[in-house]
Amino acid sequence: MNVGAHVSIAGGVDNAIENQVEVGGNCGQIFTHSPQVWQDPNVGDEEAAAFRDGSATEDLGPWVIHSSYLVNLCTPKNDLRKKSIDSMQKEVDAAAKLDIPYVNVHLGAHTGAGVDAGLDNAASALDELEIPEGVTVLVESDAGSGTKLGGDFEHLAAVLDRSAQDLDVCLDTAHAFAAGYDLSSAEAVEETVAEFDDVVGLEHLECIHLNDSKHDCGTNKDEHAHVGEGRIGEEGMETIVNHPDLDDVPLVLETPHEDGKGFAWNVERVRELRE
């Protein structure tokens, strides 16, 4: 079972190895820099080698790089589009250097351009990337507030269809739930997984951000809760963790640090739920 957390790289990207081992994870996700600013990954050769060697020694993987929060692939604004493409290019290059197979990105917001134009913008922006061999960009599902795209499975499918790149998907359970896809019962999980398969295709699902939600289904509110302790709840989480169609998909936690519980508690909770 591949389950891990989004861990810090403070002090060097290779420190993610020890941080992941400490929380009991065997796969995981990182930012290559602060996600709140435009900044290059700037990963040195020595720390990249230490990261690769550490991952192999500890048998960790797959890893995912999460792109900057500032990236907006759907934007109609040329300057922001250029910055977003440049940032993504640096992330996929960093992924290749670190032997990380995935770079995860939110589609962003169309900011008034309209859904179709936003999806076209996202696909064409992704098409400008020179993605190294062995690296795949994952388009992440969104909570769907405002003009943000990716809340509907149809948005994800449209970008995969319109782009010439070989793209796949990261499904965030809290985001999908907030966007209106119920996951709070065994029956609901079955229906949502079947809908995802019908619209996007399970063959494109390469990562799951396994997060519970502090808010109800369909509220478009993105606030994560501990596994089994939010509105998705234990039954939903247990069904996801044990679903035969999701069995080989890596689970990455972005759960909160509160109530005396952190990543280690949530990783162990997922393992307890696995039958």
pLDDT of residue 173: 98
pLDDT of residue 262: 98
* Mean pLDDT by groups of 10 residues along the chain of 275 residues: 97 97 98 95 95 98 98 98 98 98 98 97 98 98 96 98 98 98 98 98 98 98 98 98 97 97 98 94
pLDDT of residue 91: 98
pLDDT of residue 90: 98
In the CATH scheme, what architecture does the domain 3-273 have?
A: Alpha-Beta Barrel (3.20)
pTM of the model: 0.97
User: Which two three-digit tokens encode residue 2?
Assistant: 């591949």
pLDDT of residue 275: 80
Tell me if 55 sits within 8 A of 17, measured CB to CB: yes
Q: What angle do CA 179, 181, 185 make, to 5 degrees?
A: 135
pLDDT of residue 42: 86
Residue type, 227: V
Q: 117: alpha, beta or left, given left = phi > 0 and alpha = psi -120 to 50?
A: alpha
Number of other residues whose CB lies within 10 A of the CB of residue 83: 17
Q: Could you give phi then psi for residue 71, rounded to 5 degrees?
A: -60, 130
Query: What ranges make up the beta strands (E) of the chain?
Result: 3-6, 28-30, 63-66, 102-106, 108-109, 136-140, 148-149, 168-172, 205-209, 212-213, 224-225, 251-253
